[in-house]
Amino acid sequence: MLRIPCPHCGERDYTEFRYGGDAGRTRPAHGSQSVRAWHDHVFLFANPKGAHREYWQHVHGCRQWLVLERDTATGSVGRASLARPPGVP
Amino acid sequence: MSGARLAAGGRIDRSRPLAFRFETRRLTGYAGDTLASALLAAGVRLFGRSFKYHRPRSVVAAGPEEPNALLTLGVGGRRTPNIPATTTELYEGLVCERQNGWPSVDFDLLTVNSWIGALLSAGFYYKTFMGPRRGSWMFYEPFIRRAAGLGRADHLPDPDRYHTRHAFTDVLVIGAGPAGLSAAVAAGRAGARVLLVEQDFELGGSLLSAPVAGPEEQVRRALLAELESLPRVEVLRRTTALGLYDGRFAALLERHEHASPDPALGAPREVLVGVRARAIVYATGAIEQPLLFGDNDRPGVMLAGAVRAYLHRHALLLGRRAVIATNNDSAWATALDLAAAGAEVTLLDERPAASAGLAERARRGGVEVRHSSRLLRAIGALRGVEWLEGESHSRRRTPCELLGVSGGWSPALHLSSHTGARPAYDAALGCFVPGPFPAGVFGAGSVMGRHAGPWADGHQAGESAARNAGASGSAGDAVRPSWEAWPGGAALSPRNPPRRGGKAFVDFQNDVTTDDLALAHEEGYEAVEHAKRYTTLGMGTDQGKISNLNAARLLAGLRGIEIQDAGTTTYRPPYTPVSIGALAGRSVGRHFRPIRRTPLHDWHLANGAVMTEAGPWLRPWYYRWAGADAGSAYLAEMRQVREQVGLSDVSSLGKIDVQGPDAAEFLDRVYVNGFAKLPIGKARYGVMLNDDATVLDDGTTARFGETRYFMTTTTAHAADVMSWLEFLLQTAWCDLRVQVVSVTDAWAGMSVAGPRARAALELALPEVSLADAALPHMAVREFEIAGVPVRILRLSFSGELAYEVYVPADRGVAMWTRILERAAPLGIRPYGLEALASLRIEKGHVAGLELDQRNTLDDLGLGKLASRTKAYVGRELRERPELTDPERWSLVGLECLEPAARLRGGAILFARDETPAGHGRGYITSVTWSTVRGKPIALGLYRGGLRHAGEEIVCAYPLLGETVRARIVSPMFYDPAGERLHV
Ligand SMILES: [Zn+2]
């Protein structure tokens, strides 16, 4: 049972969250017409063994999307921070 | 052999007799007995018949590793097969019986299997299932079904209650032997919150096998007293750690059956506990392994440690003449204690010498010792043993009625393997030890292969765990035992058993012999994991706790490699069998999963609705006014809507409030079609794509203000859509000033549909103007009627004139009944989900069955909807060659061409002249009977789509061997021009 330290709600079971994939990648800008860029973004994943930054949404809590540091080899969980950059309304 | 119980001693309470029933016999044991010890005390020796050969079997062990003494407990709905008698605490009124004998265990005709053993050799099942003559399984099946399998479950509902509990602790200590007790005390002293769990009903582990009058007992009592005094230490007995998972989460099974819990009072039989611990100490001990020799499965052959446990714990002397055979020092204690209890004991040690001091103790204790000696075979059941003595290899016989064997101790490391660490072979110890622990997990005592000095080892682990969990108090000193530590129990590599002298069993429960493993090896199943599956070794309910190590050694020997290179099997949860009831907990029957009810739920129930599940929702399927069964009722409800007016509950639709200065821009981005120019007071049908250009969802979104939209989604995808919108706003488009809130539960929704819909609503709501000019098709209005906000959206799913009316959830019933009552003169009636879905099929609207996340906009015939001037999610990847292939499937309507036939959802579509085989050209998604066409119709996907309009095709349903002819038509079966919407 992964435990995720939500910055709003504290440490909670991962079953309260929804997984959202690799947070280390940059989504092409809205309207970008590069099929290649969208293809790579949607279909190509590094799937690393070890350190990973990934999106989790606290669906049964504050509903915020978080970026969680997790080691995919050991399952050990590090920091979680809000995906929305600070200072944005 | 009755009279095994000694007159005094043991850890049983002779003042508390417990009556129980064993088949037809009424027996009595004592508090402190296990079912195994009580039956052994009553003289029972035959506990069951073996799986394959139906050989007589008796108790081998004194713990969860027991492979043979599996009984069926309870009667009726409580009947539970395959319960080890060795771990079952005796209680008043217990009922049990033996299993796997036919017609009875005592007289078993299937012992014949022993004579035709060649038929049942390794790989028998594989060869029967997979062999060239596949029919052989059909021939053998009835025989195998009767001969194999352990016990028999009943088919009655389980009357007991099972609970689930969540727990948190600083330090979880698993196992209450000397190491675990020391760890719990150390962590408790340091100030940590401690949870100590023990599978047994007594605390002490191996200490319970020591004499009650000995010094070990004094230390045990002192530790228990201290645990009692530590306020932050909780102890759970009768609790097995079943599995260990990521994040130091452990699953525990707490058993209460001994207390005969009453389900009527809410008392659970078992509780599944999920523990989240800051630190964990493994102190699960070690399991003694048997020796391999001929007929080593005969009743009377036991693990030496079990013999000692039954002697000191249950006051059972299981034989006056005993032979102890060992390859390590630990069994010497059994030999000495048996002799002290009055038995005549011969000790056969495979080694040329034992540790210092033991020979002298044996001489003083009157134990006859033979070194460099090993067993050949057991004789009778049990009359004696044949063995080879010393370097001379001379063959000897010794009469005995009890044979205790020890092949060394294997760490009970199963839990450590659950989190992915492979056990490592320790050549010096001759056994596997746990692989590397994750952070915050510590091991202590025998499970680490450290048999000597569990006190200091456990103390240190407990202190480390407490520190890891943030406790800073003093842990004090470890116990310093006043007695001489017993030498270690490390195993030596056993030699392969002689070929002569009967079968030598490696896995007792699954009847796997040394010959079977040799055969598996010869046939190429060399790796441990392969040989295991080929022979079924280790796949019984005991999961090979006393067979895996011997098998790994044998296979390594056969391959001529080292055991560490032969590997071991992977252990997975659960450590011991767990009832389905405990895993289900309270999630049974109507609590199986959460149920969502609309605000109108109670009205539906009270007014003749038959409900059905739609995802998590309960919705009206049909109403009894329309017919006695769904088949006739929904047709009447469809006609009601097509010809008059109906009312249906659409509250389960996803509803999302979208607000903010950039709300228009936001919707423009997520929908393929434009929403920025949608006038206030209008609604628009929209489709959202996933990034990969498959359709995510559709729905109608209304604009109630410059910066205020009301989005609806399908019932099925409401949660996904909400998360997706939040994802985009919080991770990608953080600059957009938009807030989204789910208001699904805040609004009750109802659809008034049919040619008389406006008239009905005008009767219900005379306060508002619904004239076509005031509220044309796709217009929306907000009203306040008697202080209640009301939203009316003129839009249609059925193809008829229709309005959706939304009111706050708590006003839902009032609005619903107001419409029904005031529009009663028009003959308004409620209609259910079946009619709702059928009406939309007639109209050719796609829904959940078509929106399966695999189909594109063009597949669903919605390509024209997409904007050519603005960007939207999924736009670029729509251009992928595979998605623009004109031969891709797309939405079609189907009309059944056979009068008596029906179309079926999931049927595979083929061209008329094709042989219906393989994946075909598409499939049927939705079917119904069309009241307007008077025949079955369907929506489906077909390669090339409507380019094949008018063609006759074949709908194949291989599950029923059916083929039905149908014609491809436009999916808009009803009013394709939409004239009925604009009245
Ligand atoms: Zn949260």
Give B298's Cβ-side CA count (13 Å radius): 23
Check residue B51 and give its pLDDT: 80
pLDDT beyond 90 at B344: yes
pLDDT beyond 80 at B703: yes
DSSP secondary structure string, B689-719? E-TTSBEEEEEEEEEEETTEEEEEE-TTTHH
- The two tokens of residue B550 are 């011997």
Strands (E), B233-267: 233-236, 239-245, 249-255
DSSP secondary structure string, B740-788? EEE-TTTEEEEEEESTTHHHHHHHH-TTS---TTTS-TTBEEEEEETTE
Kindly give the distance from the C-alpha atom of residue A17 to the centroid of ligand 1, in angstroms, as a whole number: 9
- CB contact (8 A) between residue B727 and residue A89: no
Check residue B571 and give its pLDDT: 87
Q: Is B803 exposed, middle or buried (0-12, 13-18, 19+ CB in 10 A)?
A: buried
Give B201's DSSP letter. Answer: S
- CB contact (8 A) between residue A59 and residue B723: yes
Q: Which positions in chain A touch B277 (Cβ < 8 Å)?
A: none
Residue B191 parent element (H or E):
none
Q: Give CA A42 to chain center in angstroms.
A: 15
Do B659 and B707 form a contact (C-beta atoms < 8 A)? yes
Check residue B213 and give its pLDDT: 93
Q: Which positions in chain A touch B247 (Cβ < 8 Å)?
A: 1-3, 75-77
Contacts (Cβ under 8 Å, ≥6 apart) of B230: B185, B188, B189, B194
For residue A75, give how far its alpha carbon lies from the nearest alpha carbon of chain B (Å).
Answer: 6
Do B403 and B394 form a contact (C-beta atoms < 8 A)? no
- What's the mean pLDDT in B826-855? 95
Give B355's DSSP letter. Answer: S
Contacts (Cβ under 8 Å, ≥6 apart) of B499: none
Closest residue by Cα to residue B49 from B62, B38, B37, B58: B58
Do B647 and B764 form a contact (C-beta atoms < 8 A)? no
Check residue A89 and give its pLDDT: 53
pLDDT beyond 80 at B603: yes
What is the per-residue pLDDT across B940-966, written as a single tens digit (0 to 9) for each?
A: 999 999 999 999 999 999 999 999 999
- CB contact (8 A) between residue B876 and residue A83: no
- CB contact (8 A) between residue A89 and residue B880: no
Closest residue by Cα to residue B459 from B216, B189, B205: B189
Q: Which positions in chain A touch B726 (Cβ < 8 Å)?
A: 57, 63, 65
- CB contact (8 A) between residue B719 and residue A59: yes
- CB contact (8 A) between residue B249 and residue A1: yes
Do B964 and B898 form a contact (C-beta atoms < 8 A)? yes
Query: How crowded is residue B380: how many other Cβ atoms within 10 Å of its Cβ?
Result: 13
CB pairs under 8 A between A and B: 74
pLDDT beyond 60 at B15: yes
More confident call, B477 vs B132 = B477
- What's the mean pLDDT in B812-823? 98
Q: Residue B518 — φ and ψ, nearest 5°?
A: -65, -40
Contacts (Cβ under 8 Å, ≥6 apart) of B161: B261, B263, B266, B267, B268, B269, B586
Closest residue by Cα to residue B177 from B461, B531, B375: B461
Kindly give the distance from the C-alpha atom of residue B440 to the centroid of ligand 1, in angstroms, as a whole number: 25
Q: Which positions in chain A touch B419 (Cβ < 8 Å)?
A: 75
Rg (alpha carbons) of chain A, rounded to whole number: 14
Q: Which positions in chain B touch A34 (Cβ < 8 Å)?
A: 876
A62 interface with B at CB cutoff 8 Å: no
In the structure, what pLDDT confidence band is assigned to residue B495 with cuts at 50, 70 and 90?
low
Interface probe with B: pick from A12, A45, A63, most Cβ of B within 10 Å: A63
Contacts (Cβ under 8 Å, ≥6 apart) of B828: B644, B645, B646, B647, B752, B756, B760, B819, B820
Residue B276 is nearest to which of A3, A41, A42, comparing CB atoms?
A: A3
Mean pLDDT of chain B: 92
Give B858's DSSP letter. Answer: T
For residue A52, give how far its alpha carbon lies from the nearest alpha carbon of chain B (Å).
Answer: 16
Each domain of chain A, given as residue ranges in start order, spans 1-24+46-89
- The two tokens of residue B887 are 């031969």
Question: What does CATH list as the number for A1-24+46-89?
Answer: 3.30.2270.10
A42 interface with B at CB cutoff 8 Å: yes
Kindly give the distance from the C-alpha atom of residue B730 to the centroid of ligand 1, in angstroms, as a whole number: 14
Helices (H), B341-386: 358-365
Do B969 and B952 form a contact (C-beta atoms < 8 A)? no
Question: Which residues on adjacent β-strands are paired with residue B385?
Answer: B378, B398
- CB contact (8 A) between residue A35 and residue B879: yes
What is the per-residue pLDDT across B141-178, written as a single tens digit (0 to 9) for each?
A: 555 555 555 677 788 999 999 999 999 999 999 999 99
pLDDT beyond 70 at B138: no
- CB contact (8 A) between residue A65 and residue B726: yes
Do B512 and B505 form a contact (C-beta atoms < 8 A)? yes
- The two tokens of residue B968 are 């491809």
- CB contact (8 A) between residue B734 and residue A85: yes
For residue A46, give how far its alpha carbon lies from the nearest alpha carbon of chain B (Å).
Answer: 18
Residue A6 parent element (H or E):
strand A3-6
Report d(CA B824, CA B820) in Å as an integer. Answer: 6
- What's the mean pLDDT in B343-372? 94
Q: Which positions in chain B touch A75 (Cβ < 8 Å)?
A: 246-247, 419, 438
For residue B584, give how far its alpha carbon lies from the nearest alpha carbon of chain A (Å).
Answer: 17
- What's the mean pLDDT in B479-508? 69
In the structure, what pLDDT confidence band is assigned to residue B1 with cuts at 50, 70 and 90?
very low
More confident call, A74 vs B258 = B258
Report d(CA B240, CA B604) in Å as an integer. Answer: 47
pLDDT beyond 60 at B655: yes
Report d(CA B890, CA B173) in Å as an integer. Answer: 60
Do B741 and B711 form a contact (C-beta atoms < 8 A)? no
What is the per-residue pLDDT across B885-906, written as a single tens digit (0 to 9) for each?
A: 989 999 999 999 998 999 999 9
Shortest CA distance from A26: residue in chain B = B732
- What's the mean pLDDT in B312-321? 97
Angle (CA) A17-A18-A21 rounded to 5° is: 125
Q: Which positions in chain B touch A41 (Cβ < 8 Å)?
A: 691
In angstroms, the first-to-last Cα distance of chain A is 33
- What's the mean pLDDT in B416-437? 88
What is the per-residue pLDDT across B534-553, written as a single tens digit (0 to 9) for each?
A: 888 888 888 899 999 889 88
Contacts (Cβ under 8 Å, ≥6 apart) of A6: A12, A58, A61, A62, A64, A66, A80
Q: Is B256 exposed, middle or buried (0-12, 13-18, 19+ CB in 10 A)?
A: middle
- What's the mean pLDDT in B285-308? 95
For residue B351, give how far its alpha carbon lies from the nearest alpha carbon of chain A (Å).
Answer: 43
A45 interface with B at CB cutoff 8 Å: no
- What's the mean pLDDT in B38-64? 93
Strands A77-82 and A65-71 come out as: antiparallel
Q: Which of B11-20, B60-69, B333-342, B588-597 has the weakest average pLDDT?
A: B588-597
Closest residue by Cα to residue B519 from B530, B605, B752: B530
In the structure, what pLDDT confidence band is assigned to residue B568 with cuts at 50, 70 and 90?
confident
Closest residue by Cα to residue B59 from B95, B94, B98: B98
Give B84's Cβ-side CA count (13 Å radius): 21
B276 interface with A at CB cutoff 8 Å: yes
Interface probe with A: pick from B694, B853, B876, most Cβ of A within 10 Å: B876
- What's the mean pLDDT in B441-458? 92
- CB contact (8 A) between residue A39 and residue B735: no
pLDDT beyond 80 at B497: no
The single-letter code of the amino acid at B502 is: G
Shortest CA distance from B880: residue in chain A = A35
Residue A74 parent element (H or E):
none
Residue A30 is nearest to which of B723, B731, B733, comparing CB atoms?
A: B733
- CB contact (8 A) between residue B734 and residue A88: yes
Q: Give CA A44 to chain center in angstroms.
A: 16
Does residue B555 have a cis bond before it (omega within 30 degrees)? no
In the structure, what pLDDT confidence band is assigned to residue B355 with cuts at 50, 70 and 90?
confident
Report d(CA B576, CA A12) in Å as an integer. Answer: 28
Kindly give the distance from the C-alpha atom of residue B733 to the centroid of ligand 1, in angstroms, as a whole number: 20
In the structure, what pLDDT confidence band is assigned to residue B140 with cuts at 50, 70 and 90?
low
Residue A35 is nearest to which of B247, B735, B877, comparing CB atoms?
A: B877
Question: Which residues on adjacent β-strands are paired with residue A70?
Answer: A52, A77
Give B808's Cβ-side CA count (13 Å radius): 9
In what side-by-side order are the strands of the sheet with B25-31? B25-31, B13-22, B95-97, B70-73, B80-84
- What's the mean pLDDT in B711-724? 96
Residue that the structure tokens 């714990």 belong to: B313
Share of chain B above pLDDT 70, in %: 93
A60 interface with B at CB cutoff 8 Å: no
Contacts (Cβ under 8 Å, ≥6 apart) of B128: B136, B137, B140, B144
Check residue B390 and give its pLDDT: 78
B573 interface with A at CB cutoff 8 Å: no
Kindly give the distance from the C-alpha atom of residue A84 to the centroid of ligand 1, in angstroms, as a whole number: 13
Kindly give the distance from the C-alpha atom of residue A23 to the centroid of ligand 1, in angstroms, as a whole number: 18
- What's the mean pLDDT in B566-592? 89
- The two tokens of residue B613 are 């599940």
Q: Identify how many contiguous H helices and E strands chain A contains and give both numbers.
A: 1, 6
Q: Which positions in chain B touch A35 (Cβ < 8 Å)?
A: 876-877, 879-880
